[in-house]
């Protein structure tokens, strides 16, 4: 389902002023950054450097290895704490400041940019656009608003953001904006073939084996319309994969037409159970994630629990059954 009539939420003038008038800048995204977080952070940072500003890019966890060859990735710093005093802090798609996994950001002048519902508006400047298919769409508008032309490097990161957050231009929230952005990115020098190969065909053999193991162990519920994927430390050992290589695998069951909801439960081996929910079309999984203190979008949501994996799975499943009734 697309949003053909949903106009972009205009870039707030306070945000333009905050970026143009910035001295030192820190740009960051959420922990365990995905393509949208990395693309948004790096495109914004490159644009602000284009204004001559000193910009640090920081994340609490490394970017996926397949993004290593993207422009300026050597400037991305891994850290759990910063001194943001007298600094403009641009935070991408983090519902709460704690989602960054980085301490000390609150000491800066925080600019909060997000396309998820439920953001806690923790910034001095807050800008939300739930109609944006990716945070990268908002960043593109912000870069235009501060008057920085798109270099090939900026365009490459914006394209990465939109490509990955739309599941390869297939998920809901897509709108003409997404395609207009893609068109401009390619015109500005982004190479969609190179980017597509990095994103989708650069995985390890361990991840390929992980795909096989997860699908082999997949359980179907709700008359075969709900797929349940279970990830334990053991499956990583067996397949020679790493926990971050589960990113994106939740969408695999949707390649079967019958599957309308996917529940992925992960035991991180750290005492926490991470739950991800995906749905097709009008089925709303966000409300279910919220009941457990999480959030997200209608078709993509999640939460973290300190309860054991089987307990969490058994609590969530009965709530999913009415969705497909
Ligand atoms: Mn996003």
Same domain, residue pair 183 and 269: no
Q: Distance from the CA of 67 to the center of ligand 1, in angstroms? A: 16
Q: Distance from the CA of 161 to the center of ligand 1, in angstroms? A: 7
Number of domains composing the chain: 2
240 inside domain: yes
Nearest to 139 by CA among 177, 101, 166: 177
- The packing angle between helices 35-50 and 152-165, to 10°, is 160
Q: How many CB atoms lie within 10 A of CB 308?
A: 12
Return per-residue pLDDT of the chain as tens, 325 residues.
Answer: 444 446 789 999 999 999 999 999 999 999 999 999 999 999 999 999 999 999 999 999 999 888 999 999 999 999 999 999 999 999 999 999 999 999 999 999 999 999 988 899 999 999 999 999 999 999 999 999 999 999 999 999 999 999 999 989 987 679 999 999 999 999 999 999 999 999 999 889 999 999 999 999 999 999 999 999 999 999 999 999 999 889 889 999 999 999 999 999 999 889 999 999 999 988 999 999 999 999 988 999 999 999 999 999 999 999 999 998 8
Q: How many CB atoms lie within 10 A of CB 255?
A: 8
Nearest to 1 by CA among 302, 295, 280, 261: 280
Same domain, residue pair 173 and 224: no
Q: Distance from the CA of 217 to the center of ligand 1, in angstroms? A: 29
Q: Distance from the CA of 206 to the center of ligand 1, in angstroms? A: 26
Q: Distance from the CA of 104 to the center of ligand 1, in angstroms? A: 23
Same domain, residue pair 265 and 134: no
Same domain, residue pair 150 and 280: no
Q: Distance from the CA of 135 to the center of ligand 1, in angstroms? A: 5
Same domain, residue pair 30 and 171: yes
Domain that holds residue 262: 205-324
**Which of 138, 165, 200 marks a domain boundary?**
200
Q: Distance from the CA of 258 to the center of ligand 1, in angstroms? A: 26
- Residue 318 has, within 13 A of its CA and on its CB side, a CA count of 5
What contacts 212, CB < 8 A, 6 or more positions away?
239
Same domain, residue pair 114 and 213: no
CATH code of residue 253: 3.10.310.30
Q: Distance from the CA of 114 to the center of ligand 1, in angstroms? A: 8
Same domain, residue pair 154 and 211: no
Same domain, residue pair 43 and 188: yes
Q: Distance from the CA of 223 to the center of ligand 1, in angstroms? A: 31
Q: Distance from the CA of 209 to the center of ligand 1, in angstroms? A: 27
Tokens for 42? 């790096």
**Which of 200, 226, 243 marks a domain boundary?**
200
**Which of 200, 228, 251 marks a domain boundary?**
200
The backbone torsions φ and ψ at residue 242, rounded to the nearest 5 degrees and listed phi first, read -120, 155
Using alpha carbons, list the distances in angstroms from residue 100 to 28, 30, 97, 178: 7, 4, 6, 26
CATH code of residue 42: 3.90.1640.10
In Å, how far from its chain's centre is CA 190? 20
Q: Distance from the CA of 116 to the center of ligand 1, in angstroms? A: 7
Same domain, residue pair 125 and 250: no
Same domain, residue pair 56 and 38: yes
Q: Distance from the CA of 134 to the center of ligand 1, in angstroms? A: 5
Same domain, residue pair 69 and 189: yes
Q: Distance from the CA of 238 to the center of ligand 1, in angstroms? A: 31
Quick one: pLDDT at residue 2? 45
Same domain, residue pair 47 and 110: yes
What contacts 270, CB < 8 A, 6 or more positions away?
none
Sign of CA dihedral 25, 102, 195, 275: negative
Q: Find tokens 């529940």 and name the residue.
A: 263
Q: Distance from the CA of 221 to the center of ligand 1, in angstroms? A: 28
Q: Distance from the CA of 222 to the center of ligand 1, in angstroms? A: 29
Q: Find tokens 């990830």 and name the residue.
A: 231
Q: Distance from the CA of 279 to the center of ligand 1, in angstroms? A: 16
């Amino acid at each position: 389902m697309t949003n053909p009539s949903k106009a972009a939420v205009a870039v707030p003038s306070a945000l333009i002023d905050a970026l143009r008038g910035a001295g030192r800048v820190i740009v960051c995204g959420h922990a365990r950054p995905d393509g949208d977080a990395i693309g948004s952070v790096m495109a914004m940072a490159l644009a602000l450097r284009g204004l001559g500003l000193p910009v640090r890019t920081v994340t609490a966890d490394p970017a996926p290895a397949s993004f290593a060859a993207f422009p300026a990735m050597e400037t991305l710093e891994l850290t759990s704490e910063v001194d943001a005093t007298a600094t403009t802090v641009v935070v991408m798609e983090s519902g709460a400041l704690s989602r960054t996994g980085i301490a000390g950001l609150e000491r800066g002048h925080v600019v909060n940019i997000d396309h998820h519902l439920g953001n806690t508006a923790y910034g001095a400047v807050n800008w939300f656009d739930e109609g944006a298919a990716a945070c990268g769409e908002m960043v593109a508008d912000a870069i235009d608003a501060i008057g920085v032309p798109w270099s090939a490097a900026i365009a490459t990161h914006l394209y990465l953001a939109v490509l990955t957050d739309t599941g390869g231009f297939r998920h809901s929230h897509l709108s003409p904006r997404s395609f207009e952005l893609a068109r401009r990115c390619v015109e500005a020098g982004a190479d969609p073939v190179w980017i597509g190969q990095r994103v989708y065909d650069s995985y390890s053999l361990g991840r390929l084996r992980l795909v096989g193991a997860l699908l082999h162990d997949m359980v179907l519920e709700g008359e075969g319309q709900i797929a349940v994927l279970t990830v334990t430390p053991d499956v990583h050992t067996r397949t020679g994969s790493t926990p971050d290589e589960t990113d994106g695998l939740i969408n695999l069951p949707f390649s079967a037409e019958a599957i309308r909801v996917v529940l992925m439960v992960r035991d991180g081996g750290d005492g926490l159970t991470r739950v991800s929910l995906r749905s097709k079309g009008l089925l709303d999984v966000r409300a279910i994630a919220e009941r457990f203190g999480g959030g997200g979008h209608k078709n993509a949501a999640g939460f973290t629990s300190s309860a054991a994996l089987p307990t969490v799975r058994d609590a969530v499943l009965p709530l999913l059954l009415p969705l497909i009734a």
